[in-house]
Chains A and B, each alone.
Chain A
Amino acid sequence: MNKITNNKAWFLVLPVFFIVAISAIIPLMTVVNYSVQDIFDPQTRFFVGTEWFEQVLGDSRLHDALIRQIIYTLSVLFIEIPMGIAVALTLPRKGWGVSASMVLLALPLLIPWNVVGTIWQIFGRADIGLGGYLINLMGIDYNYAQNPMDAWVTVLVMDVWHWTSLIVLLCYAGLRSIPDAYYQAAKIDGASRWAVFRFIQLPKMQSVLVIGVLLRFMDSFMIYTEPFVLTGGGPGNATTFLSQFLTRMAVGQFDLGPAAAFSLIYFLIILLVCWVFYTVVMNAGKQGEQ
């Protein structure tokens, strides 16, 4: 082989290496360090092996939070993805309506998480909030500060309001990339609206949808700010999701060992789910090919 080796090229990788090391690898290693030790002060620490992991995994409050989290994330995905696709399909394809709807759709995405929380916190109040007032007016006893179900639904609606636009924009981009000739061909074949969606639009949106699902999964699985602003995880434990639980453990009770152990488990869960999802989707695509 006549390959030219130039070891100087490694220097070009160094900046990236440093940035990744400082921003990700070193903090992660610190967490690993905490998770296997019981630390009283910098001089007094004991190696405890997997004790923290066992403790955390056996914690029934964590099991509850995990189940709550899974139900929440699944709800988010089952609402936002179909709704995003549906809205994208109804958007105009040309004219002034395109830019108007783009701006409208982008608005929620520009609002920071804690502001979204505050908006809905006020909006949902029965005394001074328009939403809460109207719902109560309709005879539904709605109070997110007292009723766990109400709080849970409020957080869900908040997320749907905030992030469905993202799916819409992704799907819309995917739809726009389909040449007009596909629709004509389908029309000539006499294909139904459903067939056009199932055999042209959906396959053409597949790649952006995978990205959309992954983003929404990761983000909703790590939801923290909105329930924190709304009720701080309450009432009771109704909106205590995994990250609330973790923060309470780490910052509230200062249980750094178990919190570190749990952080790692949390990280692995997200990594694993993403990997499984991605592999399954990509393989499903390939199987059809063979």
Chain B
Amino acid sequence: MTLTLENISKTVGGESHIDDVSMTLEPGSFNVLLGRTLAGKTTLMRIMAGLEPPSSGRILVDNVDVTGMAVQKRNVAMVYQQFINYPSMNVFDNIASPLKLQGVDKAEIEKRVRSTAELMHIEHLLDRLPQELSGGQQQRTAMARAMVKDCKLLLLDEPLVNLDYKLREELREEIPNLLAERDTIVVYATTEPMEALLLGGKCAVMHQGRVTQFGPTTQVYHNPAYVETGLIFSDPPINLVDAEVRDGAIFMKSGHQVPLTGHLSGLANGNYTLGIRANHLSVDPTGDNTIAMQGQVELAEITGSETFVHVHFNDVSWVIQEEGVHNPRLGEATSFYVDPTRLFAFDANGKLVAAPPVEISNGKAA
């Protein structure tokens, strides 16, 4: 089926939660809703499911208006951040519950529950109660329950947030494969840019109740249409600095100068915001044309394989992502290098005007 949202808005108590969202989800597509907490992801999913009516706008399924239709008749399934299972039923009965309510016959239920459980790797846990399972197993059960009924729309609302790192990685890898061969429209909400990139598919970036950009995930990542999108779709958020184009060069407010070459050559005179992702900054000069900058080290976060160095210069705070463990002294002045071929340029309204060309492998992908 195709799910179309037409000018959907939702206002609760005078406060706008969803603001004029229009998008079309194609049959069998995997869609990531990326946005910060409170961006409206959950509300939008609830509207898609039919759990809440929109204040205005229409929802179409295969061009049929279903705006007022009750959720039970929509054939949707939802997986939540919390692990939601019926506490007094064992795993088998939990997975079987939507089928039982649909009146599917016993042998068929048995068959489908077992095959779904196998898919989710919980076939050995069918006799257990939810409270006897680990968090990951509980979420697998909840997902199996959502997948068993062959729904047309599967909504996953930050399903991996409450899991520990290892389990999250495991499930994140499995999810796209599990759903690949289905006709189901999948909508997956997340706050993490990395997760969006790993899941692939299409990505809708949400900000303050609006969908600011919707397209293939990597394309959105490489061409964030607005400054906000860049901030949301980068971890750490994209580094920004105000700049002005005049006399055939870009002058950053910090006093540095960038030549108007390559993808930036088309910029007209005026005010801009330049953006560069943390992984395209380096404490070592990486090429011939890199621009050296100076800043004060504010903080160094070491994650094990990478170090995030926070630097401060001319009222601007930037984050540099470095491979390996670095231990710069706090408060110390340090040099770092900007690769001008990796700069994004946004105009005075925050709209993207120049993006670096996409390189397939540059060692520091994503």
CB distance from B239 to the nearest CB of A (A): 37
Q: Are A181 and B86 in contact (CB under 8 A)?
A: no
Q: Are B129 and A289 in contact (CB under 8 A)?
A: yes
Identity of the chain A residue whose Cβ is nearest the Cβ of B74 in the assembled complex? A188
Identity of the chain A residue whose Cβ is nearest the Cβ of B127 in the assembled complex? A290
Identity of the chain A residue whose Cβ is nearest the Cβ of B99 in the assembled complex? A189
Task: Tell me whether A188 and B127 are in contact in the complex, defined as CB-CB below 8 angstroms, given that A200-B86, A204-B87, A289-B132 are known contacts.
Answer: no
Q: Which of chain A's residues have a CB closer than 8 A to the CB of B102? A: 190
- Is A15's beta carbon under 8 Å from chain B? no
Q: Which of B49, B82, B131, B132 contacts A188 (CB 8 A)?
A: B49
Q: Which of chain A's residues have a CB closer than 8 A to the CB of B365? A: none
CB distance from B72 to the nearest CB of A (A): 4
CB distance from B235 to the nearest CB of A (A): 26
CA distance A266 to B330 in the complex (A): 74
Q: Are B78 and A188 in contact (CB under 8 A)?
A: yes
- Is A173's beta carbon under 8 Å from chain B? no
CB distance from A197 to the nearest CB of B (A): 12
Q: Which of A195-254 contact B (CB under 8 A)?
A: 195, 199-200, 202-204
Count of interface residues, chain B, beta-carbon cutoff 8 Å: 26
CA distance A202 to B84 in the complex (A): 15
CA distance A199 to B84 in the complex (A): 12
Q: Which of B84, B89, B128, B131 contacts A185 (CB 8 A)?
A: B84
Q: Are A181 and B132 in contact (CB under 8 A)?
A: no
Scoring A residues 64 to 87 as 1 if CB is less than 8 Å from chain B, else 0, what string do you get?
Answer: 000000000000000000000000
- Is B116's beta carbon under 8 Å from chain A? no
Q: Are B129 and A288 in contact (CB under 8 A)?
A: yes
Number of A-B contacts (CB under 8 A): 55
Q: Which of B71, B86, B88 contacts A187 (CB 8 A)?
A: B71
Q: Are A189 and B98 in contact (CB under 8 A)?
A: yes
Q: Are B128 and A289 in contact (CB under 8 A)?
A: yes
Q: Which of A253-290 contact B (CB under 8 A)?
A: 288-290
Q: Which of A164-199 contact B (CB under 8 A)?
A: 179, 181-182, 184-185, 187-191, 195, 199
Identity of the chain A residue whose Cβ is nearest the Cβ of B83 in the assembled complex? A181
Q: Which of B109-144 contact A (CB under 8 A)?
A: 127-129, 131-132
CA distance A184 to B51 in the complex (A): 7
Q: Which of chain B's residues have a CB closer than 8 A to the CB of A199? A: 86-89, 97
Q: Which of chain B's residues have a CB closer than 8 A to the CB of A289? A: 128-129, 131-132
CA distance A187 to B132 in the complex (A): 25
Q: Which of chain B's residues have a CB closer than 8 A to the CB of A187? A: 51, 71-72
CA distance A182 to B97 in the complex (A): 14
For the residues of A in contact with B, the DSSP-based class is helix
Q: Which of chain A's residues have a CB closer than 8 A to the CB of B80? A: 181, 184-185
Q: Which of A179, A184, A203 contacts B78 (CB 8 A)?
A: A184
Q: Which of A188, A195, A204 contacts B72 (CB 8 A)?
A: A188
Q: Which of chain B's residues have a CB closer than 8 A to the CB of A188? A: 49, 51, 71-72, 76-78
Q: Which of A179, A189, A191, A195 contacts B82 (CB 8 A)?
A: A179
CA distance A179 to B162 in the complex (A): 15
Q: Are B88 and A203 in contact (CB under 8 A)?
A: yes
CB distance from B321 to the nearest CB of A (A): 36
Q: Which of chain B's residues have a CB closer than 8 A to the CB of A191? A: 97, 101
CA distance A289 to B125 in the complex (A): 11
CB distance from A206 to the nearest CB of B (A): 8
CB distance from A180 to the nearest CB of B (A): 9
Q: Are B84 and A190 in contact (CB under 8 A)?
A: no
- Is B191's beta carbon under 8 Å from chain A? no
- Is B229's beta carbon under 8 Å from chain A? no
CB distance from B229 to the nearest CB of A (A): 29
Q: Are A189 and B101 in contact (CB under 8 A)?
A: yes
CA distance A190 to B80 in the complex (A): 17
CB distance from A85 to the nearest CB of B (A): 16
- Is B273's beta carbon under 8 Å from chain A? no
Identity of the chain A residue whose Cβ is nearest the Cβ of B102 in the assembled complex? A190
Task: Tell me whether A190 and B101 are in contact in the complex, defined as CB-CB below 8 angstroms, given that A199-B89, A200-B86, A200-B87 are known contacts.
Answer: yes
Q: Which of chain A's residues have a CB closer than 8 A to the CB of B78? A: 184-185, 188
- Is B90's beta carbon under 8 Å from chain A? yes
CA distance A184 to B102 in the complex (A): 17
CA distance A202 to B78 in the complex (A): 23
Of B82, B84, B101, B131, chain A has the most CB atoms within 10 Å of the CB of B84
Q: Which of A179, A195, A290 contacts B84 (CB 8 A)?
A: A179
Q: Are A288 and B101 in contact (CB under 8 A)?
A: no
CB distance from B121 to the nearest CB of A (A): 21
Identity of the chain A residue whose Cβ is nearest the Cβ of B90 in the assembled complex? A288
CA distance A188 to B84 in the complex (A): 12
Q: Which of chain B's residues have a CB closer than 8 A to the CB of A200? A: 86-87
Q: Are A182 and B89 in contact (CB under 8 A)?
A: no
Q: Which of chain A's residues have a CB closer than 8 A to the CB of B90? A: 288
Taking A179-B82, A199-B86, A288-B90 as given, write out 13 further A-B residue pairs in contact, using a Cβ cutoff of 8 Å, ordered by the A residue number.
A181-B81, A187-B51, A187-B71, A187-B72, A188-B49, A188-B72, A190-B72, A190-B98, A190-B102, A199-B88, A200-B86, A200-B87, A202-B88
- Counting from the closest, the 9 A-B pairs by CB-CB distance are A190-B72, A203-B88, A203-B87, A181-B80, A199-B86, A289-B129, A185-B84, A189-B98, A181-B84
25 A-B pairs whose Cβ atoms sit less than 8 Å apart in the complex: A179-B84, A181-B80, A181-B82, A181-B84, A184-B51, A184-B80, A185-B84, A187-B72, A188-B49, A188-B71, A188-B77, A188-B78, A189-B72, A189-B97, A190-B72, A190-B101, A199-B97, A200-B86, A200-B87, A202-B88, A203-B88, A288-B90, A289-B128, A289-B129, A289-B132
